[in-house]
């Protein structure tokens, strides 16, 4: 009867890297705070250049400086960025890439590297998605307050916007979110209200529109 040979393998406790994973997330989160796309429908649009950074990081062809340059090029080529990145954004991007590459250099196992990258990726995605939701909720609150100051009453708004019976508002807070999609469907008065709101807040249409996630 053949005897079985048991091979003992050491498992890497990836929780030991939790602090470093969190440092990477926080740096990239600060960078994305300075990225023109605040919210998006897709994960790709929401993560911006960071998604590309994470997919390229373990390829072996980049060091921290060259990978930062790669990401910076993606950022500047984005139509919404208009060729600009703030000083805070530059620092956070560089820090995130450096921390990421330092972390991966400590880990020899490709399987463990993949797990760490997944933790960074989906942990950061959750942070950005929750921030995006909070951002949209804040825009909607500010828009309701703006409309309350612009119109004499909700009935006044309903009349001037030409809303049909099933669309009639009972409160200003029920006003449709001022997205570009809504703008295209609106009458001239509602378009004027959306334009005035954007101007009063110093916002470009893409900064408040949740429906057009930028694809990289």
Q: How many whole angstroms separate alpha carbon 63 and alpha carbon 97?
A: 9
Q: What is the pLDDT of residue 42?
A: 85
Cβ–Cβ under 8 Å, residues 116 and 17: yes
Q: Hey, what long-range contacts does 69-77 have (CB within 8 A, 24 or more apart)?
A: 71/97, 74/48, 74/49, 74/216, 75/35, 75/48, 75/49
Which residues, given as ranges, of the chain have pLDDT below 70?
1-12, 38-39, 210-216
Q: Where are the domains of the chain?
A: 15-135, 136-208
What is the model's pTM? 0.78
Q: What is the pLDDT of residue 161?
A: 98
Cβ–Cβ under 8 Å, residues 110 and 58: yes
CB burial of residue 199 (10 Å; 0-12, 13-18, 19+): exposed
pLDDT single digits (tens) 156-204 = 999 999 999 999 999 999 999 999 889 999 999 999 999 999 999 998 8
Q: What is the pLDDT of residue 31?
A: 97
Q: What is the pLDDT of residue 68?
A: 98
């Amino acid at each position: 009867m053949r005897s079985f040979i048991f091979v003992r393998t050491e498992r890497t406790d990836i929780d030991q890297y939790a602090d470093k994973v969190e440092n990477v997330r926080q740096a990239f989160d600060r960078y994305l705070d300075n990225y023109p796309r605040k919210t998006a429908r897709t994960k790709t649009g929401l993560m911006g250049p960071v998604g590309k950074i994470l997919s390229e990081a373990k390829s072996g062809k980049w060091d921290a400086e060259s990978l930062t340059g790669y990401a910076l090029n993606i950022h500047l080529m984005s139509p919404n960025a208009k060729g600009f990145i703030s000083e805070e954004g530059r620092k956070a991007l560089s820090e995130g890439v450096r921390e990421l590459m330092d972390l991966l250099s400590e880990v020899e196992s490709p399987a463990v590297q993949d797990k760490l990258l997944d933790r960074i990726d989906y942990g950061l995605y959750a942070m950005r998605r929750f921030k995006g939701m909070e951002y949209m909720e804040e825009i909607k609150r500010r828009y309701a307050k703006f409309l309350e100051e612009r119109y004499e009453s909700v009935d006044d708004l309903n009349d001037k916007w030409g809303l049909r019976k099933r669309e009639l508002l009972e409160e200003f807070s029920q006003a449709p979110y001022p997205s570009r999609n809504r703008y295209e469907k609106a009458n001239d008065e509602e378009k004027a209200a959306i334009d005035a709101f954007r101007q009063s807040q110093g916002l470009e249409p893409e900064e408040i529109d949740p429906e057009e996630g930028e694809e990289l």
